[in-house]
Amino acid sequence: MNTEWETALSDRGGATCELCGGSSDLAAHFVPGGAGQDAEAHILACADCRDRIEAPTLDASHWFCLKQSIWSDVPAVQVQSWRLLQGLPNEPWALELLEQAYLEDSVLAWAKAGATGGSQPDSDASPTLDANGTPLADGDTVTLIKNLDVKGGGFTAKRGTAVKNIRLTDSPEAVEGRINGSVIVLKACFLKKQ
């Protein structure tokens, strides 16, 4: 922590990790995709959190701290928390928190900007379209337009079932969503955006 903004960041975090409150080996962690610079674009994070940001599912219970940090006043902390929650699609508490969390539009746009990740521009990737040809995005709510047998789930997802907070997949024809507690792959052509 040398430069002026690093000092400001350290002060903002109260010399504790802005995610988990830990204090070991704190350093600035860059949160890509935002318009801000310096302290605005970084969070103060401990070594443990910084390591786990690379592999959020390794020990999901570590991220119970996000239940606090998602409500931070600091946009960069909100964005990092939101992205980490998005990285835990198999954790019911994480999905619940995503539904409860409120991010300002500009903060949510930032969070989503990085969510597609990487430096690869995906403008030439085919968009994922619903039954009406409406583009789908991560976090959308869709309804099923036909009954779907869930293979392995042992149940039929009824036409009209709403699926919240879908996630796009590598294929433009499929999205992931949670029905009856199971994350399943849904064909986009059987969905309608709400």
Residue 20 makes contact with Zn ion by CB under 5 A: yes
For residue 61, the minimal CB distance to Zn ion (Å) is: 13
Residue 50 makes contact with Zn ion by CB under 5 A: no
How far apart (Å, rounded) are the C-alpha atoms in residues 28 and 38? 9
SS3 51: helix
For residue 19, the minimal CB distance to Zn ion (Å) is: 5
SS3 135: strand
For residue 64, the minimal CB distance to Zn ion (Å) is: 12
Residue 28 makes contact with Zn ion by CB under 5 A: no
Tokens of 174: 């499929």
Stretch that binds Zn ion, among 46-54, 130-138, 150-158, 179-187 (CB under 5 A): 46-54
* Interacting residue with Zn ion among 28, 41, 43, 46 (CB under 5 A): 46
How far apart (Å, rounded) are the C-alpha atoms in residues 121 and 99? 28
How far apart (Å, rounded) are the C-alpha atoms in residues 116 and 66? 21
Tokens of 128: 């994922």
* CB nearer to Zn ion: pick between 71 and 190: 71
* CB nearer to Zn ion: pick between 50 and 193: 50
Q: What distance, in Å, lies between the first and last C-alpha atoms of the chain?
A: 47
Sign of CA dihedral 107, 65, 32, 120: negative
Stretch that binds Zn ion, among 45-53, 102-110, 124-132, 175-183 (CB under 5 A): 45-53
Residues that bind Zn ion (CB under 5 A): 17, 19-20, 22, 46, 49
